[in-house]
Amino acid sequence: GEDVEQSLFLSVREGDSSVINCTYTDSSSTYLYWYKQEPGAGLQLLTYIFSNMDMKQDQRLTVLLNKKDKHLSLRIADTQTGDSAIYFCAEKVGGGGNKLTFGTGTQLKVEL
């Protein structure tokens, strides 16, 4: 079945690294995504990873995928106050479907 879970809150100090975790249950996921949502705004695509990859790095963002444990993480290096937002992971399941299944979101708060 489809179920994506995230912890609800994360608080870090400015300049530290943030690690946001996500677990999913569907082993046929093809792509996994990270989106950022600021208050009152839409979803901004941050990065994505194909299911046959273990890691992807894009500037301050590092995505790690453990397919055996169905665990996805997003690491933000040198976290800034502008990174404060809700972060959603989402999976796209194979088998011809194209819908995304989202987690409940992790609210990241960056403190000075």
How far apart (Å, rounded) are the C-alpha atoms in residues 92 and 28? 9
Name the residue nearer to other proteins (CB basis): 29 or 101: 101
Does residue number 44 form part of the binding site for other proteins (CB under 8 A)? yes
Q: Which residues pair with 5 in a beta bridge?
A: 23
Q: Indicate the SS3 state at residue 85.
A: strand
Name the residue nearer to other proteins (CB basis): 45 or 77: 45
Does residue number 33 form part of the binding site for other proteins (CB under 8 A)? yes
Does residue number 88 form part of the binding site for other proteins (CB under 8 A)? yes
User: Minimal CA–CA distance to 16: which of 99, 89, 110?
Assistant: 110
How far apart (Å, rounded) are the C-alpha atoms in residues 39 and 68? 34
Does residue number 101 form part of the binding site for other proteins (CB under 8 A)? yes
Which positions touch other proteins (CB under 8 A)?
A: 4, 30, 33, 35, 40-45, 48, 88, 90, 97-105
